[in-house]
Structure formats: C-alpha cells, structure tokens
Structure 1
C-alpha cells in the first residue's frame, strides 16, 4: 500500500476513535443510579456504583481515610449527577478514560486544607440569648466543645473531611441531635427549647447511638479517683448535665476548692491543686501536687506530681510523675515517669520511663524505657528499652534493645537487639542481632547474626548464619546454611537446600535441590583408573565429590571436589562441563607432601530413564608434585604426558584422558 494512503487511513481511524470516545463516555455517565441513603467506606460506595453502572473506577486510595464513612443517596439519577454531588464536596473530579472512570483531586484547588473548623452560637429559642455551658458531644470524638458565657463554641479537627454525629445537652433544655459533614470550615446557629427535667431524662437515644452513646466516661472505677472523690459525688454527677465556666480555681482537695460545691461542673481556665483537684474540664493550664482529675476534656497543659486522669479528649500536653490516663482522643503529648495509658486515637507523642499502653490508633511517637504496647495499629515510630508490641496494621519503625513484635501487617522497619517478629505480612526491613521471624508474605530484607525465618512467600534478601524461607523466595539468601522451598533467585552459602529452583542457581560448598541434580557416576578412565563421582545441586551448577583408585596397584588414589554444569542439548542428551581439584595419595601417609591434580573436561550424557544413563567424555589433566616426596615413584600419573616442567622442587605435567561410565540418579530439571 502507498505509504501516504496508509498514513491517511491511520489518521482517519484515530479521528473516528476520538469522536466515539466522548459519545461512549456520555452514554456511561447517563446510566441511572438508584441508591438508598448509605453511610459506608469510599471503596464500598465505589463498588456499589460500579455494579450498577457496569463500569470500573480507578482512584488513589490514599486520598480517602480508610476508617472514614461517606454519605450518598441516589433516586434514579444519572451517574454524572450522582458523581458531581458526591465528589464535589471532597474537592475531587472525574473523567472517563478508556474502560475506567478516573477519580482525581480537583486541579482548581491549589491546596487542600489539612484541618476543618466548626464554630457557632447556641441560643434560647424564646429569648434568643446565648446559652452558656452547653455540652456538644460526638459519638466518636467524645465531648468536642462546650459553649462559653456568650453561648459560642469552636473546635478544629486535623482532618480534611470530618463526619460528625452531634448531641447537644445542658441545663433544662431538650437534647438536640445534628449530623454534619465538614468538607470546609463551617459556622452554625442553633436554637434549643426548654423542657421539664423529667421529660428530658425519659427520652430514648437514636438507634445509631445504641453502642456508642456519648455518655460521661466512667472514671469512678479507677482507684485514684476513688481515693479523692466520694461515691455520693460520682452518683450525683451522673444525673447532672449543667456545666459552668470558671476562669480560675485553686484548691487543696476536691472538697476544698475555690469553686466550692461546683468544682465537678466547672470548666477551669487556670487550675492549681495543692494536692488533688476534680473538675469537669480544663481550657488552659492545670497543676496538681498529686493528681488532676477531669471528667471531660483537657485543652492546654496538665502537670501533676503523680497522675493526670482525663475522662474525655486531650488537646495539648500531659506531664505526670507516675502516670497519665486518657479515655478519649489525644492530640498532643503524654509524658510520665512510669506509664501512659490512652484508649482512643492519638496524634502526637507518648514518652514514659517504663511503658506506654495505647488501645486506639496512633499517629506519632511512642518512647519508653521498657515497653510500648499498641492494640489498634497506626503509623509512626516506637522506641523501647526492652520491647515494642503492636496489634493492627502498623506503618513505621520499631526500635528496641530486645524484642519487636507485630501481630498484624506491618510496613516499615524493625530493628532489635535480639529478635524481630511479624505474625502477619511485612513490607520493609528486619535487622536483629539474634533472629528475625516473619510468618506470612515478606517484601523486603532480613538481616541477623543467627537466623532469619520467613514462613510465607518472600521477595527480597536474607543475610544470616542460617536462613529459612518456607515458601516461594524471589531474591537472594546469603549465609552458612540456606533453606528454601521454591526459589527464583539464588543462594550463597556453605550449605544450600531448596525443593525447587524456578530461575537462578545456588552457589555453595554443598547444594541440595530436591528436583535438581542428585546422582552417582561410576566410570573407567584410561591409565586403568576406576572413579566414583557424587553430584548434587542444580542442573546448571552442581557440586562434585570425586574418588578414584588405580587398578594397577590399588595404592594410588585421588580424592577431590569440583563444580559442573549439564545443560540439555537435545531431549535426553546433555553436555556436562566439569572442573575438579584433587589430592593424589600414593602411600599410607596422607598430605605429607604436595601432590595435586586438576581436571577439566566435557562429557556427553544420554539419559535412558530419568534415573539412569550412560556417558563418555574427555579431560585435560595437570599435576603438580614435590619431588622430595616421590621416594622413587614416577612424577606423573601418566606414563607419557604431553609435557613436563620443573621449577625448583615442583614438577608439573599435563595430559589428555578419556572416560566412560554409567549414572544412577537424576541430572535435574
């Protein structure tokens, strides 16, 4: 065909495809979608849309929080309309490309805010006056705010998107429930109606709050609280919703405070407790000789000689001589002489002389003199004098003097003085003085002085005295002893063992491959020598142990070690190339003088069956012998060598030899 016409035809095809693509995209985007009101993870919502539209969605999962739920509803609406209303608040766009709808950040948005703020004014519906001391709870975050003397509140969340299920309560006003999705900063005005206290207490919470109702965190079971707060006081508080703001408080004990009988309802701006204090919360600074106890949130700084105990969330820093205990979300730092205990999500730092215990997810640093315990995963850095323990997927680094252990998936590094253990899969690096253990898939490296063990598939590198990979290894093992199931890569060590090689070969003094070379050869060489060879390893690189004895005097013998390769050349035919280095013994005294023999040759093999064959070939031989040890014996095993040479006391000679024999065992796959 004329090249010009071929170019014209190609251009026409491109134009047609370019014209059809928008029509195809438009057809897809007009498909009707029907979805009941749904609150679910982003991936689950995309799956539902994909099933109805018959189309695949592609997006970067890192743009959407794994634990966040999104709301969507569609009433027989076009897919384009559903996507516009769903993605626009998240500052995301979409485009049809080929057989996928690509979701990506809106290029018009130069920078996505890392935080969202909700603020507002809560007023009496009849008078319009601002209401002070109204508690604002969220089912996940706990008490997020309370109104000031003018009825105003504000709270900032360090996330680009926040879903809030809010409950407003306080005084003799009816509880109010709001659902708000923050994709940008937002200010709201709320009216609250009065009602009889008895009627208010009889209300039933909404169904979705049955398991996570934002009630007061129960502190009364803690021993330290029982010491300073009477049982009568805690029972009275359970029935009280009224909070007041106090700019300043000073006291000796909870019962002896400048707030008098209202200390447990007071939100203090500055609080100074000579021994111990008990308050609703802190918005500023609190200092205590022994203990600071707050029913709800602490925003600012707490310092105590013994302990700080918070029933709600912490935004700021807690410092205690013995321990800090928080039952809500933490954004900031906990520092204690002995231990820190946290129950919910944390973004910040935990530092303790003995140990840190965190039951929620953490983003940040845990540092302890003895141990760090994390039960819900997270990301960051753990540093401990003895051990680090994590449960839940963890992304980051663990450093300890003795032990690091992750019970679930981990992405990152483990560095330990003795042992690293990952009970699930690992993407990263393990370094230990004694041993590394990974129980499932490993994508990375293990380095230790004694042993590396991986019980699942592995892609990477193992370096140790002994290495063990119990399933498929795609990479390299380096050690004195290497053991693997299936390998695509190599082993470098004194002893190597593998069930199967799918690619690559082992390098070692002795290599054993279950499906590889494993055979005995019995052969006859000219000059009347009978030889026995044992070959083991991989077909393309095997080890050779060889022994030969002269049939002339039955006293002259050779023994040696070598390497070889036997690639197939046609069906049952293969060609071996072997090199061996041997010691020659001509009397009962072993190794009393220099007498060495090197052999290099080719051998044609015919495998009659996989376990039996015959062969024939030739070798070139070079012998070096010390004439001081000959004692009248010939200087060469060959009667008429091709050449001889003497330098000082060493005589060398070379010759060709031929051999033939039988093989018992396999050459390998």
Structure 2
C-alpha cells in the first residue's frame, strides 16, 4: 500500500512522502517518488546506474531524506521550478600539488583538467594566459604542459572547453608547478527559448528536451557557431590543423586586440597559438595566416584567413577568406570569400563570393556571387549572380542573374525573376515579366515570327522571316529591342528597333535590314493581341546583282525609296500581326 502527503506550497525537497518497504531498481523508485510528489527528476544518465537494486526501508519522510537513503554519498540535489536535479557532488581537489623555483627566463605549468561531476579527465580543453597569448591543449589523458615567461610578475590561467563553464585560476609567476583544475558542466536549466518571426537576433544556444518512453529525456543542444565559419570551408578544413580547430571551438567567445602580428603559416605566429583569437591592426602572413580579424591592413604571400571582420585593406597572393564582414578593399590573386556582408571593392582574379549583402563593386575574371542584395556593380568575365535584389549594374561576358532587378543588366544572357529595370543582351529573360510570341507580315517578308522577353520598359526580340516564292525567295534573322506603353487595359503602343541579316542566295555580301516601327496594339483577350503600324527601313547592301530564284533588290520596285548613299536605301513600309501571351 502506498500513501503520499504533500503540501502544494512546500519546497520540492521538503515535501513528505510515504512509501512501503520495498526492494527495486533506482529508476522505479524515482518514478514512484516523482508520481506521488507531482514533480519531475532530471539527471544525466551517465552519473548513475538506473537498474541498480536498492533496499528502501519504507515510512514517511521528506523527499530529501528519501533521496539520501537511495544515494548515500557523492550526490547533491537542487530544485528548479518543478524539477529536482540530481548531480554529482563537485570534486574538491587541491589546485597546486607541487611548486619549485624555476630558471630566470621561463617556467612551466603542468597538470590535468577534470570534470568536477564525474572526476573524468577532459581531453582537448584549452589552457591559455590571456595577456601573453600563451596557450596549449590537454592531451587524450587530460594532461597539459604550458611554458610561460618569468619576467611577468602576475599570471592567470583560463581553462575553456565546449559545454563547460570557463575557469580562471591565479598561479605563482616564476615557479614550475603542477596543478589540477576542475571544470563544471554548463547547466541547462531555465534555457527555454522562443523563436518566432520578427525576432531580430538568434540565441547562442537552443536546448530542446525530447521525452523518452522510460520517462527520461534526451537533451539536444544547437549552438550558434558564427566564429567557426572559416574552418568549415573546404580550404579551412584542408589548411587548418585539428588543434587550431579545437581551440576555435573552445574559445569561440574570447577575442583580444594586438597592433601587429607576423605569421609564417597558420599556427606559427608572433601572437602564438592564439592568433585566431586576435584582431590585429597590421597583419603580415609570409605564406598564409589565420587571424581573429583585421582593422587596418593585411598582406598575405599566398593567403589570408580571418575568423571575424576585416576592415580597410586586405591583399592575398592567391585568396582571402573572411568569416565576418569586409569593409574597404579586398584583392585576391585568385579569389575572395566573405561569409558575411561586403562594403567596398572586391577584386578577384577568378571569382568573388559574398554570402550576404554587398554595397560596392565586385570585379572578377570569371564570376561574382552575392548571397543577398547588391547595391553597386558586378563586373564578371563570364557570370554575375545576385540572389536577391540588384540595385545597380551587372555586366557579364555571358550570363547575369538577379532575382529582383532594379537596375541594369548587360550581357549575352540576362535572367531575372522580376524586373523594374533594364536588361540589355541577346537573350533577356524575366520569369515574371514580359513574354510574347508574335506572328506578323510586312512589305519585305510575308511570314515572320518573333519572341519578345523582358519587361514593358525594355524587351529584347529574336526574330526571323521568310518569303517562300521560289522566284524571289528571302530568308531573314536578327535581333531587336522594344518598349510597350499601355493606354489602359485594351489599347497600347509598341516602338521597336531591329537589325536583320537577309540571305539572298549568297553569303559573300552584306545585306543588312534595319527597321524602326511604331504599332498600335489592341488586346482581344487575355492571351491575344493584334497590332499594326508604319515602319521605316534602311537596307545596307553591297551585293551587285541577283542570284537566280532569290529576291534582289530589297525592296521590290513598287516602293518609293530614298538613296541614303554608300549602299544605303531607305523606304517607308508597314508592319501588322498578332501576338500571344
């Protein structure tokens, strides 16, 4: 028989419960107490064996007294809202276990780092002296050895490890000494986080408890690792050692400032092993370096890698990688990568990549990429890409893309999702813009087709025509541009300019037909429009005579023409047809 007497206002550990004598597992006993006391237990499954059998004497006692019977030593109990947290009693270890005078120049601090809950040694923990930038990592057994200079009268060691609270201890300068340092695991109580549209910042960590069938929970931890972006790149993974990566994870919130640093390679720096945590005013990397950031000038023989922001000037022989924002001028022999935003000028021999927005100019031999909006200009030998809004200009040798165009694109192929600007190229595609397939007749060729794409302000035209009469054949193909002005829902006007090559039986001569036309447009239905209007044409031809079966000259003799000199002939004609979509 089980009974419980609980005061709803009493502290959880002081509530009284009554249990009959029994012998069962720790897990079952905790569940009985939890159900009767109307609260929850929270503990790390690694610190106790839930299947251990315990003899419980029964009787009425407080929850604290009951827990002391179940866990006789080595544990402590804390309350948090409606939870009782079971944890190991922190291990108390003497800090300094050995101390001897050292030489005049250097002294050594050796020791181990332990978990104060389990007593286990902690591998890959960072031990560093903030002022002198001396640092090391614990090995697989949790041991470390750090050399410090004797000329400084004061010294403090800070120990950091992911998912543990930082610990700082004072040491005696000038003495070789052995120490033992304990770290406390980060406590996750009170870590409820609400993420909703409109919240401007993302929390550093999210803690999500997922209930399990056995009444326990698994805690999933999501950490914001903005300072680790560089080492997650392909080049970062290749060029940075595992020790540098471990230091970055442990010291993600520690940064300091120094005026000058010189590096031979990442990890070999005048700032020691903590250069990745140092923001420098002047940074010089013989082959390459990995710094916390730059606020001034950085020069790399081969490459520069910076964890946070770079301001003013950065020059890399091959490439630059910036984990934060870039402000100023960035020049890379091959490439520039900015994982934040860019404000200024990027010049890359092959490509420039900016993950967020750009305000300025990107110039590259092959490609430019902006992950959000760009205000300024992209000049790429092959391609330019803006993932969101372009306010400015894209000039690309082959293709330009912007999701929202509010400027101008100049390239062989221009693509946009929506456009309020101008696309100038052979093929201009606005996915949610102006698309027309036209069929028309004119005084030169009775059968013609044109594809128009862009927006109403400016669209491009790919066109071709044919005169099928076997005695006066003509084949034309060319390119044009146009604009469409609406007068309400039914009427509108189009002005178009085009240039077409006319094949008249031989490729040996130039036959170029240039036309300017104005047409009145009438909408018949959602998908159909008809249009007609006058056109003025200028034919440039150096062909001396007709080829049998092909038309010559253009236009035929029935049109009044104007001699414009130098093989140029002009006349007034017409243009009429219909278009779909």
Q: TM-score, normalised by structure 1?
A: 0.47
SS of the equivalent of 2:99 reads helix
RCO higher in structure (CA 8 A, sep ≥6): 2
Q: Does 1:535 find its partner at 2:452?
A: yes
Structure 1 residues 396, 236: closer, same or farther in 2, change over 3 A?
A: farther
Deviation at 1:430, TM superposition (A): 1.5
Change (3 A) 1:235 1:410: farther
3-state DSSP of counterpart to 2:508: coil
Q: Distance between the aligned counterparts of 2:309 and 2:504, measured in 1?
A: 67
Aligned pairs, how many?
Answer: 350
Q: Please report how far the alpha carbon of residue 559 of structure 1 lies from its aligned counterpart in structure 2 after TM superposition.
A: 1.9
| 1:415 alignment partner in structure 2 | 331
> In the TM superposition, what is the alpha-carbon distance from 1:471 to its structure 2 partner?
0.8
The alpha-carbon distance between structure 1 residues 296 and 652, as it changes in their structure 2 partners (threshold 3 A), is same
Cα shift at 1:237: 3.3
**Is 1:624 the equivalent of 2:486?**
no
Matches within 5 A, 1:279-294: 293-294=148-149
Tell me if 1:353 matches 2:264: yes
* 1:113-124 correspondence runs (5 A): none
CA-CA distance at 1:652 after TM superposition: 4.0
1:580 matched to 2:498? The reply is yes
| Corresponding residue of 1:405 | 321
User: Cα 1:624–1:370, aligned 2, differ >3 Å: closer, same or farther?
Assistant: closer
Selected match of 1:523 from 436, 440, 447: 440
What is the Cα deviation at residue 461 of structure 1? 1.2
Checking the alignment, whether the CA contact within 8 Å between 2:276 and 2:307 is kept in structure 1 is no
Shift of the 636–528 alpha-carbon distance from structure 1 to 2, 3 Å rule, reads closer
1:438 aligns to 2:354 (yes or no): yes
CA distance in 2, matches of 1:428, 1:558: 47
Q: How does 1:455-470 map to 2 (within 5 A)?
A: 455-465=371-381, 466-470=383-387
CA, structure 1 residues 296+409, in 2 after alignment: closer, same or farther (shift >3 Å)? Answer: farther
Q: Which residue of 1 aligns with 2:484?
A: 566
Does structure 2 conserve the Cα–Cα contact (< 8 Å) formed by 1:372 and 1:382?
Answer: no
Residue 606 of structure 1 and its aligned partner are, at CA, apart by: 2.1
Deviations 1:11-41 (A, max 9, x none): xxxxxxxxxxxxxxxxxxxxxxxxxxxxxxx
8 A contact 2:527–2:580 mirrored in 1? yes
Separation in structure 1 between the aligned mates of residue 255 and residue 513 of structure 2, nearest angstrom: 74
Report what 2:286 is aligned to.
369
Partner of 2:519: 603
Which consecutive unaligned segments of at least 5 residues does structure 2 have? Answer: 1-94, 110-128, 132-145, 155-168, 171-243
Inter-partner Cα distance in structure 1 for 2:544 and 2:327: 66
* 2:529 alignment partner, one of 587, 602, 613: 613
Partner of 1:297: 152
CA contact (8 A) 1:593 1:629 kept: no
Supply the distance in 2 between the matched residues of 1:493 and 1:627 (Cα, whole angstroms). 32
Determine whether 1:379 maps to 2:241. no
Cα distance change, pair 407–237 in 1 and its aligned pair in 2 (3 A)? same
**Residue 545 of structure 1 pairs with residue 407 of structure 2:** no
Tell me what 2:508 maps to.
592
Post-superposition CA distance 1:512-548 (Å, at most 9, x none): 1112222211112246612111212232222222212
Q: TM-score, normalised by structure 2?
A: 0.54
Aligned match of 2:427: 510
What secondary structure sits across from 1:616 in the alignment? strand
Alignment CA distance shift 1:646-1:360 (3 Å): closer
State the distance in 1 between where 2:147 and 2:278 align.
Answer: 25
Structure 2: distance between partners of 1:627 and 1:353: 69
Alpha-carbon separation, structure 2, partners of 1:550 and 1:344: 76
TM-aligned CA distance change 1:372 to 1:615, over 3 Å: same
Q: Tell me, yes or no, if the aligned pair for 2:441 and 2:575 is still in contact at 8 Å.
A: yes
Q: Report how far residue 400 of structure 1 moved.
A: 0.9
CA RMSD of aligned residues (A): 3.7
Residue pair 1:369, 1:384 contacting (<8 A) in 2 also: yes
Given that 1:642 and 1:653 are in contact with CA atoms closer than 8 Å, whether structure 2 keeps it comes out as: no
